[in-house]
């Protein structure tokens, strides 16, 4: 039993981006939600393991990564890619640095690459500075993120605050001169004590060259673009597309669960509510179990009518601030996720088999609550990534999306795709 290339995704929607783009170019990617099934997966080319590492405290994140890498090593994994958000979502106490420290130590590497950015989604890194939608990330909507506001655009500086290792930059001005110059530059920087290389990501040529330079390392880290490039090089099947038949889908009710508080998601929620009943939940009103019970009673009457229904714990910025002042930043987020997870579990018991979820952390909580161990991910299409089907007898269809992307009508469009 062996795995050629394993992606450890620090949230559920980020892992889906990698898997769906690999499926699009004909590379099957097994999507694992429960690491406990790893010993039974057999030989695999690419495996994406979804976790909830992103917002764990550093010590908990490292312990989780330790356990997971033990399992991956036990099944003969050749390469491990630690994947984080393309915008390097993190706080000063963030866990990307501590997780990297653990990985470079465990696998006794002399260097480690960091490749945030995703040019195809207009997320760039130039001279170490992150640009999101053509603006410095510190001037973009990302500065208002309720959990990890990105107020510092210098990604090398963000990383350096999380590690004692020396962080250096592999800039575009070096990368665009070709592999020989870039290799020499990296060796020279290593001689000067640099072990962590924050790589520029101005365009896909930067990504491709980064894959050439670091592709032979046992462990690499980065965002979607570098993960996809490296995985496709390891599999070497880019020109031999493998179309797979559409998997069977379960039949049952339909629900939209909104956890993200981004402006994009709020517009999507309001658009869906024009044609469908949506319950807005204020997490300050009662305990999580009580709010879950109220929501499921509300759902019971509407599910009988055969309509798609929605639930939202997302509020405007003022509502988010009030909830965070009451429960703390992570306390508010975890309570909201617990409510949505409880609702999803109750809906599944009532026969709902189609779920649209907005928010990476919410997606992870809901998939775990549904008891899904692994999924088949569908190829990237006009909706983007996020379409998947549970590999159990229920055949639950899901569309899991990050909060800040998607067209205004994406919720209805995703449900329509599931009905097809």
Q: How far is CA 97 from the centre of its chain?
A: 18
- Given a contact cutoff of 8 angstroms between Cβ atoms, the answer to whether 2 and 77 are in contact is yes
Q: What six digits make up the tokens of 259?
A: 């956890």
In contact, 90 and 137? CB cutoff 8 Å: no
Task: Quote the CA–CA distance of 397 and 293 in Å, as a whole number.
Answer: 24
Q: Give the C-alpha separation, 209 to 158, whole Å.
A: 24
CA–CA–CA angle 355, 359, 364 (5° rounding): 70
Confidence band of 243 (pLDDT split at 50, 70, 90): low
17-26, 27-36, 84-93, 183-192, range with the lowest pLDDT: 84-93
Rounded mean pLDDT, 146-155 = 89
The answer to whether the beta carbons of residues 100 and 58 sit under 8 Å apart is no
pTM above 0.85, yes or no: yes
pLDDT digits (tens, 9 = 90+) for 281-325: 999 999 999 999 999 999 998 987 778 999 999 887 788 889 999
Q: Is the pLDDT of residue 240 over 60?
A: no
Within 38-95, residue ranges assigned H as helices are: 58-74
Residue 169: closest CA among 161, 159, 179: 159
Cβ neighbours of residue 294 under 8 Å, at least 6 residues apart?
286
Give the residue among 278, 52, 213, 54 at the shortest CA–CA distance from 148: 54
Is it the case that residue 245 has pLDDT exceeding 70? no
Mean pLDDT of 121-130: 96
Contact 122, 132 (CB under 8 A): yes
Q: What is the DSSP string of 157-168?
A: HHHHTT-SSPEE
Of 147, 123, 148, 127, the residue nearest 137 (C-alpha): 123
Q: What is the rounded distance in angstroms from the CA atom of residue 215 to the CA atom of residue 134?
A: 29
From start to end of 260-409, where are the E strands?
Answer: 278-280, 309-312, 352-358, 374-377, 387-390, 397-401
């Amino acid at each position: 039993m062996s795995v050629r290339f394993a992606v450890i995704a620090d949230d559920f929607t980020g892992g889906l981006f990698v898997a769906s783009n690999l499926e699009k170019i004909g590379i099957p990617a097994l999507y694992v939600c429960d690491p406990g099934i790893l010993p039974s997966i057999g030989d695999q080319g690419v495996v994406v393991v979804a976790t909830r590492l992103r917002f764990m405290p550093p010590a908990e994140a490292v312990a989780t990564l330790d356990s997971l890498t033990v399992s991956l090593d036990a099944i003969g994994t050749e390469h491990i890619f630690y994947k984080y958000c393309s915008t390097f979502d993190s706080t000063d106490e963030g866990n990307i640095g501590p997780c990297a420290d653990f990985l470079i130590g465990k696998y006794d590497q002399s260097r480690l690459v960091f490749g945030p950015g995703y040019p195809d989604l207009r997320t760039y890194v130039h001279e170490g500075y992150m640009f999101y939608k053509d603006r410095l990330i510190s001037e973009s909507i990302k500065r208002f993120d309720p959990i990890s506001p990105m107020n510092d655009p210098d990604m090398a500086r963000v990383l350096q605050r999380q590690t004692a290792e020396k962080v250096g930059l592999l800039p575009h001005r070096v990368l665009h001169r070709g592999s020989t110059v870039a290799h020499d530059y990296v060796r020279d920087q290593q001689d000067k004590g640099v072990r962590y290389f924050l790589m520029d990501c101005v365009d896909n040529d930067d990504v491709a060259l980064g894959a050439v330079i670091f592709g032979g390392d046992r462990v690499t880290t980065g965002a979607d673009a570098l993960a996809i490039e490296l995985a496709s090089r390891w599999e070497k099947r880019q020109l031999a597309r493998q179309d797979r038949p559409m998997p069977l889908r379960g039949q049952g009710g339909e629900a939209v669960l909104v956890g993200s508080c981004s402006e994009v998601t709020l517009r999507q929620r309001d658009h869906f509510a024009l044609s469908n009943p949506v319950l807005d939940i204020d997490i300050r009103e009662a305990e999580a179990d009580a709010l879950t019970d109220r929501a499921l009673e509300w759902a019971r009457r509407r599910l009988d009518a055969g309509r798609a229904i929605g639930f939202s714990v997302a509020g405007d910025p003022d509502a988010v601030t009030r909830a965070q002042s009451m429960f703390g930043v992570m306390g508010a987020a975890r309570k909201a996720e617990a409510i949505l997870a409880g609702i999803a579990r109750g809906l599944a018991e009532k026969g709902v088999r189609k779920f649209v979820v907005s928010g990476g952390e919410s997606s992870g909580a809901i998939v775990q609550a549904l008891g899904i161990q692994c999924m088949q991910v569908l190829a990237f299409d006009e909706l983007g990534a996020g379409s998947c089907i549970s590999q159990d007898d229920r055949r639950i269809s899901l569309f899991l999306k990050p909060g800040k992307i998607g067209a205004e009508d994406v919720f209805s469009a995703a449900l329509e795709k599931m009905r097809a």
